[in-house]
Amino acid sequence: MEAVNQRAKELLEKGEIKAVLGYAKGTGHVRRPHFARKAGQVDQLVLDAACLQNLAVYVTKHEVKKLGKVAVIALPATQRAILQLMAERQLRDGELVILAVDGEAVKELDSAAALEEHLALKAQGLDAKDKALLAELDAMSREQRWVYWQNELSRCMKCYACRNSCPMCYCGTCTMDCNRPQWVPVASHGIGNLEYHAVRTMHLAGRCVECGECGRACPVGIPVHLLTFAAEESIHEQFGQRAGAKAKLDYALSTFKTDDKESFIR
Amino acid sequence: MSEKNIYLPYLMRIAEITEESPAVKTFRLEFVDEIAAQSFDFKTGQFGLYSAFGEGESTFCIASSPTRKGYIECTFREVGRVTAALADKEVGDIVGFRGPYGNVFPLEDWKGKNLVFIAGGIALPPLRSVIWNCLDLRDWFQDITVVYGARSVKDLVYKRELKEWSERPDMKLVTTVDPGGETPDWQGKIGFIPPVVEQLGLAAENTVAIVCGPPIMIKLTLPVLEKLGFPPERIFTTLENRMKCGVGKCGRCNTGSSYVCKDGPVYTLAELNELPAEY
Amino acid sequence: MANTYNLSHESLNSLFGALRKDGRRIMAPVEAGGRTELAEVETPAQVASDYLQTILSAKEVAFPKVERLLSYTIAPGQVDLKDTEPKAVPTVLFGVRPCEAKAFGALDAVFNWDYRDKFFNARIEQLAVIGLSCTKADEACFCTSVGGGPADATGSDILLTPKEGGYLAEVCTEKGAAILNLAPDLFKPGNGVDKAAITAKVEQAFDQPALTTKLPGIFESEVWTDQALRCIGCGACAFVCPTCVCFDIQEEADPKKGERLRCWDSCGFHLFTLHASGHNPREVQGARWRQRVYHKFSYYPERYDMLGCVGCGKCTRACPVDMNLKEHLIEAAGVKA
């Protein structure tokens, strides 16, 4: 942490960046995202096991871009999300300083190519708990799964914490906010909730970096991350790709390849 | 015992549709229910929520004068889901109306004064109601001047009425279009509203100014009026914040502690100066 | 003035029985999948035994997240409107925290300050609140800074305060007396108990009158933009809030019939004030965060002579990015108690 903070301070002092985005102590044991905009505020930044949030959600925001160049203290999930954003041309090389933190090591990166190379060294995988939950869901019959999700989604109130906490949900106008036509009902009733989560899942299939932020963000504890995880794992199985791994966009669901499987055509 | 449902609209039949300008229409609406027609009353400046059943409600002022009984009129531009659905309606179709809501232009206070109405683009409808109201009470007031500007000649609304107003000896109408928006036979002025107002040489003394238009027009016109000597208490405008309920509940139109739907939509500049600029 | 009684733990069974026999639904906090949420219960055993607060507030019993306002059928040249009668089931809210009980007053202020909202009123009429004083609090709590307290009886028809062997029961209203009369034998004459000694200690964190006085002068301050930099603009805070009352009206229809629904909404959403023209009076998240703060601590006092916040801390607990309301109010206005 000291090395990161030291570097962040230097960058701020030299005026190379306008803010450092990292984590600070929050309520109780919670760690919250924090923008240090003066060298003196860098000391408030902390980095420990309680730092969970994917900070990449901020880097496409109008309010944050307005600050000027930002350095991001990027844990692996944040790194993957930034790489995916770059592949989707939401960020340019050099637009951010990425202080990639992996355990004790810190690397300063600023391009998609560098991120790709850096991430290639690491295995990406779901944690044991989520793996077990996915396996549990997988073992269910369709009917059981339907009942499970109906039950879980009945708590949804469409606060959109899952969408708004997701780095990949950067669209200026979300399908949910579009009313000409009204694709999905606004109301948080059975069909409104189901359609929202179905659309969210499909829009993230092949783009989800599996950080689990949406699930953590949900105030009523719906494991919504399992939806996008399942879609992402399925893409990986079918097409051998993972989001947040490549600098060049190769989006499975919109790219035709002659060796694509056609087993779904019956 | 149950209370009245404040969200239930009147049913209105479209009696007449006027195409004002591209994508702008005026509906004349008559009450389906006779009793509602008899008991309905409103004052100039008030607004309502108009329903296109199947799509929702949209908020506009009542564009007709309360002195014209038996109907109300609204003028709207097709910009969103509800206005697009309204624009598809035909004479005889049923729409909904909730209202009248909000406060009113204080005509009584304006007695004996000169009136200057300044409107830009689609913002003439809110002023049309009060202009006709004042013309129908002509002897209450001194000089009446209307300054109306639009981007181009085809964007001017109420063309028939503009002609009528231009021919009336008891009022003065000044129309203007943005440079480049004129046609070869255009008789009015060419230029933006603020300089046109400045050039008119209006006397601020004993005069009330009523301004309505897009935010940028209002922003640039107010300094001109202040320069001419209009005190903020004698400059009126009407706000069009987004609304859902119209009855002081849904919170959407809140500007500071003011509910535009209840304390507005009519405000003096003096009142607006006390509110955050969130409109 | 409240009449004070003793209510034993064991007598709750009979009380629940009497309430149900009277045709009332009992809603209470229950444990479900590691969360505490409000649900219908039949016996006291189903009620969560040791909880801080529910995630969502109790407002949904009077102001549900979705409800129908009207319906209609459409035929060429004809629309038939149908009024909706709200489903108002006689309900007892049991075990609700004092902050939430108090919050119904803030909802009532908006729903009835001018026009009367029959949907809210029909449910409130059928609602009785049996509050339960808090024996613990967390870092998000700040009821004592906004005029409430862990054993405040405001808004409760009966307030229970846990004590040795049962509860101290304060019967505060006619609705409370009506409940007492369903099972008068259960309510034993009670002696004065020092409530402060047995309930949670919530230190006053800030000087609210000073805050309310200061807010108009710091409207343009950069502090709101700074604090809101990390706000992601979701509606979690508003939706869990017991006093947030803002709503949307949505149409759902097919070519032949439709209905108009009221749905919870939030001033934190950029869509909330967005005009069809594209103009947005609150363009940036800083302005939207400020609106939330001002509505509760400046506009509510000005308009309704009360606060739009009860200090329950639900927003802080629900926020995915830890926007701590108490802390930010203190930071913005420098009003630490």
Q: Specify the pLDDT at position B226.
A: 93
The A residues from 173 to 192 touching B (CB cutoff 8 Å) are 179-180, 182
Question: Can you spell out the DSSP letters for B210-247?
Answer: EEES-HHHHHHHHHHHHHHT--GGGEEEE-----SSSS
- Inter-chain touch B276–C273, beta carbons under 8 Å: no
- Inter-chain touch C248–B256, beta carbons under 8 Å: no
B261 DSSP 8-state letter:
T
**Arch. (CATH architecture) of B10-101:** Beta Barrel (2.40)
B56 to chain C, minimum CA–CA distance in Å?
A: 5
Tally of structural domains, chain C: 1
- Inter-chain touch B248–C281, beta carbons under 8 Å: no
Which alpha helices (DSSP H) does chain C contain, by range?
A: 11-21, 98-112, 118-125, 174-182, 195-198, 208-214, 223-228, 236-240, 285-294, 300-304, 314-318, 325-333
A18 to chain B, minimum CA–CA distance in Å?
A: 29
Cα–chain-centroid distance for residue A209? 6
C331 to chain A, minimum CA–CA distance in Å?
A: 14
- The per-residue pLDDT for range C167-219, each reduced to its tens digit, is 999 999 999 999 999 999 999 998 778 888 999 999 999 999 999 999 999 99
Distance (Å, whole) CA A239 – CA A259: 10
- The per-residue pLDDT for range A91-134, each reduced to its tens digit, is 999 999 999 998 778 899 999 999 999 999 887 788 899 999 99
- Helices C11-21 and C174-182: angle between axes, nearest 10 degrees: 100
Residue linked to tokens 């308009």: C303
- The per-residue pLDDT for range B125-154, each reduced to its tens digit, is 999 999 999 999 999 999 999 999 999 999
- Inter-chain touch C281–B241, beta carbons under 8 Å: yes
Q: Specify the pLDDT at position B216.
A: 86
- Inter-chain touch A179–B81, beta carbons under 8 Å: yes
Structure tokens at C82: 């149908």
Higher pLDDT, B246 or B215: B246
Distance (Å, whole) CA C99 – CA C146: 10
* Residue B121 near residue B76 (C-beta atoms within 8 A): no
- Inter-chain touch A182–B84, beta carbons under 8 Å: no
Tell whether B79 lies on the interface with A, counting CB pairs under 8 A: no
Tell whether B249 lies on the interface with C, counting CB pairs under 8 A: yes
Tell whether C315 lies on the interface with A, counting CB pairs under 8 A: no
- Touching chains, B (3+ CB pairs < 8 A): A, C
The domain ranges of chain A are: 2-120, 128-254
Structure tokens at C302: 């000005």
Structure tokens at A221: 């504890």
Tell whether B15 lies on the interface with C, counting CB pairs under 8 A: no
Nearest Cα neighbor of A220 from B248, C117, C122, C240 is C240
Structure tokens at B6: 């404040």
Distance (Å, whole) CA C264 – CA C249: 9
C299 DSSP 8-state letter:
I
- Touching chains, C (3+ CB pairs < 8 A): A, B
Helix (H, G, I), strand (E, B) or coil at A51: coil
The domain ranges of chain B are: 10-101, 107-238
Q: Specify the pLDDT at position C205.
A: 96
Interface with C, mutate which of B14, B89, B252 (most C CBs under 10 A): B252
Tell whether C247 lies on the interface with B, counting CB pairs under 8 A: yes
Distance (Å, whole) CA C308 – CA C237: 13
Tell whether A189 lies on the interface with C, counting CB pairs under 8 A: yes
Residue of C nearest to A174 (CA): C271
**Dihedrals φ, ψ of C66, to 5°?**
-140, 135
Q: Specify the pLDDT at position A215.
A: 97
Residue of A nearest to B54 (CA): A182
Tell whether C236 lies on the interface with A, counting CB pairs under 8 A: yes
Tell whether A220 lies on the interface with C, counting CB pairs under 8 A: yes
The yes-or-no verdict on residue B1 having pLDDT over 70 is no
Residue of A nearest to C313 (CA): A27
Distance (Å, whole) CA C138 – CA C130: 22
Nearest Cα neighbor of C33 from A133, A10, B225 is A133
Q: Specify the pLDDT at position B219.
A: 87
- The per-residue pLDDT for range A158-178, each reduced to its tens digit, is 999 999 999 999 998 999 999
Average confidence (pLDDT) over A51-58 = 97
Chains B, C: CB pairs < 8 Å: 124
Under CATH, which number does the domain B107-238 receive? 3.40.50.80
Structure tokens at C49: 């035994």
Tell whether A154 lies on the interface with C, counting CB pairs under 8 A: no
B163 DSSP 8-state letter:
H
Nearest Cα neighbor of B238 from B273, B277, B211 is B211
Give per-residue burial for B186-213: e unless 16+ CB within 10 Å, then b. Answer: eebbeebbbebbeebebebeebbbbbbb
Nearest to C56 among A35, A164, A220 (CB): A220
The yes-or-no verdict on residue A69 having pLDDT over 60 is yes
B41 DSSP 8-state letter:
-
User: 10 Å Cβ neighbour count for B104?
Assistant: 17
Distance (Å, whole) CA C48 – CA C59: 19
Distance (Å, whole) CA A36 – CA C308: 32
Distance (Å, whole) CA A8 – CA A6: 5
Distance (Å, whole) CA A79 – CA C197: 51
Range of the domain at C164: 3-333
- Inter-chain touch A35–C229, beta carbons under 8 Å: yes
Average confidence (pLDDT) over B250-271 = 96
Tell whether C69 lies on the interface with A, counting CB pairs under 8 A: no
Distance (Å, whole) CA C248 – CA C108: 18
Tell whether A38 lies on the interface with C, counting CB pairs under 8 A: no
Instruction: Name B200's Cβ contacts closer than 8 Å, sequence gap at least 6.
Output: B145, B147, B174
Q: Provide, as residue numbers in chain A, all residues whose Cβ is less than 8 Å from the Cβ of C229.
A: 35, 58, 63-64, 67
Q: Are strands B258-259 and B254-255 parallel, antiparallel or unpaired?
A: antiparallel
**What are C248's strand-pairing partners?**
C263
- Inter-chain touch A157–C264, beta carbons under 8 Å: yes
Nearest Cα neighbor of C163 from C7, C10, C54 is C7
Give chain C's residues under pLDDT 70.
1
Q: Are strands C158-163 and C127-132 parallel, antiparallel or unpaired?
A: parallel
Interface with C, mutate which of B82, B151, B254 (most C CBs under 10 A): B254
Tell whether A62 lies on the interface with C, counting CB pairs under 8 A: yes
Q: Does residue A185 have a cis bond before it (omega within 30 degrees)?
A: no
* Residue C317 near residue A28 (C-beta atoms within 8 A): no
Interface with C, mutate which of A159, A176, A179 (most C CBs under 10 A): A159
Q: What type of residue sits at position A26? A: G
